[in-house]
Chain A
């Protein structure tokens, strides 16, 4: 079977750092993606890891360990506009499988 596990909710303070973890179990794995979705909006692409290690894009970084079937999204210098849901997703040979998402709450 296939599954992705990520926390349903995370709370952090403005200006702080937060890490959202994702573990997966699937066949035909090619890479791990992260998407952001604001309330009522469409998901938008944030980051992608095909190989082990850290990818950095501005305030956002993503990490992958293929041997551990594990990845995380790291958000630094949190801003109120980062309040959203974050989805990890597995890129397979035929499609992308999305997790259920992590709701990030940011406190002022």
Chain B
């Protein structure tokens, strides 16, 4: 079955610690995205990538980093510079094109200890 997987489902971060959220897709999509969602809020774009080895900052990139070494994978690192990381993180992918639909993974809920 094609789809997007995210792991872990829940992640706990200690003060000053970097953590990495995994996102893998087998839909053969070129574009991948990371969003942050806070309770009762919409989706805010953190980073996106239209092609392997290239990515762009979204609206709230500070305190986050990404890599895109493989088409299937787009991991997100929440660094210690992100002072308020508690949120629901969603990864999405789409085919390339302005009319394409985004497909979302199940999300990772990050909590700070």
Q: In A55-106, which residues have CB < 8 Å from any B CB?
A: 87, 91-101, 103
Cβ B41 vs Cβ A95 within 8 A: no
B9 smallest CB distance to A (angstroms): 10
B35 smallest CB distance to A (angstroms): 8
Q: In B41-61, which residues have CB < 8 Å from any A CB?
A: 41-43, 45, 48, 50, 56, 58
Cβ A33 vs Cβ B98 within 8 A: no
Tell me, in angstroms, the Cα distance from A42 to B106 when the chains sit together. Answer: 5
Cβ B42 vs Cβ A100 within 8 A: yes
The answer, yes or no, to whether A24 is at the interface (CB within 8 Å) is no
Tell me, in angstroms, the Cα distance from A35 to B90 when the chains sit together. Answer: 14
| A residues less than 8 Å from B101 (CB atoms) | 33, 45, 48
Tell me, in angstroms, the Cα distance from A57 to B45 when the chains sit together. Answer: 28
Cβ B107 vs Cβ A42 within 8 A: yes
Tell me, in angstroms, the Cα distance from A50 to B98 when the chains sit together. Answer: 10
Assess A43 versus B43: contact at CB under 8 Å? Given A31-B98, A93-B98. yes
Cβ A87 vs Cβ B43 within 8 A: yes
Cβ A50 vs Cβ B42 within 8 A: no
Residue of B nearest to A43 (CB): B104
| B residues less than 8 Å from A95 (CB atoms) | 33, 45, 48, 58
Question: Which of A42, A50, A91, A96 meets B90, CB within 8 Å?
Answer: A42
Tell me, in angstroms, the Cα distance from A87 to B48 when the chains sit together. Answer: 19
The answer, yes or no, to whether B102 is at the interface (CB within 8 Å) is yes
Cβ A101 vs Cβ B58 within 8 A: no
1/0 per position for B56-74, CB-CB distance to A under 8 A? 1010000000000000000
